[in-house]
Amino acid sequence: MMEVTFVEIEEFRSTMIHLHRKGMDFLREMIGMDWNEEGLGAIYILENSDTHECTEIAVRTTDRENPELPSVSDLWMVAEFYEREVFDFYGIRFTGHHDLRRLFLRKDWVGHPLRKDYDTSEEINPIRMESEPVEEFSREYDIKDDKELAEKVEKLKILHYDQYTVNIGPQHPATHGVLHFHLSLEGEEVRKVDIHCGYIHRGIEKLCESRTYPQTLAFTDRLDYLSAHQNRHALCMCIENAMGLEVTERVQYIRTIMDELQRIDSHLLMYSCMAMDMGAITGFIYGFREREKILDIMEEVTGGRLIQNYNVIGGVQADITPGFAQKVKEYCNDQKKRIREYYDVFVNNVIFTNRAKGVGVLTRNDAISFGATGGTGRASGWACDVRKRHPYAMYGKVDFKEIIHTGGDSYDRLLVRLEEIMQSIHIIEQLIDNIPEGDFRTKTKPIIKLPEGRFTASVEGSRGEFGVFIESRGDKTPYRMKFRPTGLPLIAAAHKIMKGCKIADLITIGASLDYVIPDIDR
């Protein structure tokens, strides 16, 4: 259960400033909510990055025509993007936010989809085939002295027309998916970056509100498909904690091992894509050669290579195959030898070190303020591993080192990932030989209903902290289900560190941040 303290709008700003000064410097999650009669609002989950204690603050406004809340984007830099998302889905205007535009949907989209009274019929929002009108001006809302909301069109032009603007657009080999950088260039230097996401926004959170709990499990695999197992583990854990369902020791072992295999698979892909983006196609192929071995093990046990569909509420879909332990040990030994090859071919190469060292530096405070968890945060010296902060499954009982580098540049971000592969292998080797006996799945009723209340669970995904928030009103389908995107803080950080770099550096930073776009857009 999660205790949320509601705050009035008047003292909302002051409590937030007070909390920020008290050390709550990590805005973990911001959840837009529509409580029908009680109005529209947002829940902020804050955490102190040193003592790891969390507080949950919520604020709401009953005015549904033009709801408006004070912005906190000056306290936490990631709030700028979170608030744009809540404005996009709920229509809540944040006063003081210097650039409030829709984050995901098109500029000419009618309505705010996550509101409970949103009409999803095709006539209101048909498939518009002409390309989206580009926004010239940023928009800022401010309260006029006579209390009515005024839209002050800030004269801050996003991209001056006369500049040399280039679209590293939705279809580009190096954007790891469909992300759209709208750059203004000065020769090779990047003057201004404007990142557009939403090209793969599938409205998963709206779909989850009309699906039963077992049906929502399948969506987590398709959020960040490179940490499919961890995402699904988070959702299952959240539902099981809410139901008070105890999972057997064997399932904890299996889930931890499969999580670590999925993490190695994702880090190998991160290394391969970074090598390909920087021109070393051979580095890409070597990374994929090892990754195929993991995919074989995954397919043997779960039936799926990339999307495993393996975690279910109460345990796992099917028991592990007899040869599983043997294959995993074989793979671990082979990977330890092969990783030497990556360092020789790509990482220690003088061309790569010159191109990656000192490029896209993210300081520790910025990383915390952006909430950039995962390898990116640890490369900037911030110990943000959920497995250490809030241990779950077997991570409390397994000894492993949290890799911390302090350089904060693209070079360190890759080193963190490669060393984490070795740590994951170390974890697997401690668990693989003593998987206890027991049944792999505890029986659950066909219709699963969660008790009233708000539940959260968070897991260390492959590229950051993946959180699940469920508000249930006691019936079959969740009232509101929110997934913390691991990629959105990375995009917010990229927005800042990519200013002033060269085009080639932009590609290097993008590859080193290792974001997965469907996880950002949901």
3-state secondary structure string across 250-315: HHHHHHHHHHHHHHHHHHHHHHHHHHHHCCCHHHHHHHHHHHHHHHHHHHHHHCCCCCCCCEECCE
Using the contact rule CB under 8 A, the part of the chain among 81-89, 328-336, 339-347, 379-387 near another protein is 339-347
CA separation for the pair 326, 328 (Å, rounded): 6
Per CB under 8 A, 341 contacts another protein: yes
- Per-residue mark of binding to another protein, 123-162 (x: CB under 8 A): --x-xxxxxx------------------------------
Which residues from 289-308 bind another protein, rule CB under 8 A? 289, 291-292, 295, 299-307
- Per-residue mark of binding to another protein, 90-129 (x: CB under 8 A): --------------xxx------x----x-x----x-xxx
Q: Let me know: does 48 contact 76? Beta carbons within 8 Å.
A: no
The only residue of 217, 239, 494, 509 in contact with another protein, by rule CB under 8 A: 217
Using the contact rule CB under 8 A, the part of the chain among 141-149, 217-225, 375-383, 387-395 near another protein is 217-225
Selection from 150, 64, 60, 61 nearest residue 111 by Cα: 64
Per CB under 8 A, 358 contacts another protein: no
How buried is residue 326: exposed, middle or buried, by Cβ count under 10 Å (0-12/13-18/19+)?
exposed
Q: Report the residue number, 53 or 188, with the smaller CB distance to another protein.
A: 188
- Per-residue mark of binding to another protein, 26-65 (x: CB under 8 A): ----------------------------------------
Which residues from 374-433 bind another protein, rule CB under 8 A? none
Q: Let me know: does 341 contact 441? Beta carbons within 8 Å.
A: no
In three-state secondary structure terms, 182 is strand
Question: Which DSSP string corresponds to 209-262?
Answer: TTS-HHHHHHHHHHHSGGGHHHHHHHHHHHHHHHHT----HHHHHHHHHHHHHH
Q: Report the residue number, 35 or 225, with the smaller CB distance to another protein.
A: 225
Q: Report the residue number, 77 or 501, with the smaller CB distance to another protein.
A: 501
Which residues from 437-496 bind another protein, rule CB under 8 A? 446-447, 476-477
Q: How far is the CB of 457 from another protein (least distance, A)?
A: 21
Degrees (nearest 5) of the Cα angle 237, 243, 245? Answer: 70
Q: Report the residue number, 183 or 459, with the smaller CB distance to another protein.
A: 183
Question: Which DSSP string corresponds to 61-117?
Answer: E---SS-EEE--TTTSTTHHHHHHHHHHHH--EEET-TT---SSS-TT--S-TTSTT
Rg over CA atoms, the chain: 23
Per CB under 8 A, 327 contacts another protein: no
Per CB under 8 A, 242 contacts another protein: no
Per CB under 8 A, 244 contacts another protein: no
Which residues from 170-209 bind another protein, rule CB under 8 A? 170-174, 177-178, 185, 188, 198-204, 206-207
The only residue of 9, 345, 361, 435 in contact with another protein, by rule CB under 8 A: 345
